[in-house]
C-alpha cells in the first residue's frame, strides 16, 4: 500500500493511472523507483525508465522482475534469466 508521512504519521495514498502518467509527463520524470518489501521483510527496489512504463504495467505488474534475487520468490535454478 503506498503511503506518505505527514506530521509523523503514515497516511495511505492512492493514485489512478491517469494521475501517475499525467505527473510523469508534466514534471518531466525520467526514472521511476519501485520499492517493495520481500517475504522476509527485506527492502528491495528496482528503477525503470519512465518512457517504458505503461498503464498496463501499473495495473497488472511488471513482467521483467527476476524473483530469484529475492528470498522466497523462486530459486536461481527456476530463474527466467538462466
Domain 3-76: top CATH class: alpha beta
Element (H, E) at 24: helix 17-27
Name which of 63, 54, 62 is nearest 18 in CA terms. Answer: 54
Domain regions of the chain by residue span = 3-76
Q: Which of 29, 61, 31 is nearest to 48 (CA)?
A: 31
How far is residue 52's CA from residue 31's CA, in Å, rounded to a whole number?
9
Q: What string of pLDDT tens digits covers the 82 residues of the chain?
A: 577 888 999 998 888 889 999 999 999 999 998 887 777 888 878 899 999 999 888 888 876 666 666 766 655 555 555 5
> What are the E-state strand segments in the chain?
3-6, 9-12, 31-37, 43-49
Amino acid at each position: 500500500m503506498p503511503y506518505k508521512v505527514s506530521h509523523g504519521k503514515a497516511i495511505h495514498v492512492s493514485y489512478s493511472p491517469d494521475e501517475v502518467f499525467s505527473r510523469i509527463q508534466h514534471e518531466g520524470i525520467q526514472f521511476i523507483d519501485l520499492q517493495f518489501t520481500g517475504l522476509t521483510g527485506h527492502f528491495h527496489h528496482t528503477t525503470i525508465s519512465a518512457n517504458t512504463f505503461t498503464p498496463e504495467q501499473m495495473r497488472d505488474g511488471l513482467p521483467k522482475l527476476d524473483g530469484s534475487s529475492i528470498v522466497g520468490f523462486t530459486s536461481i535454478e527456476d530463474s527466467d534469466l538462466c
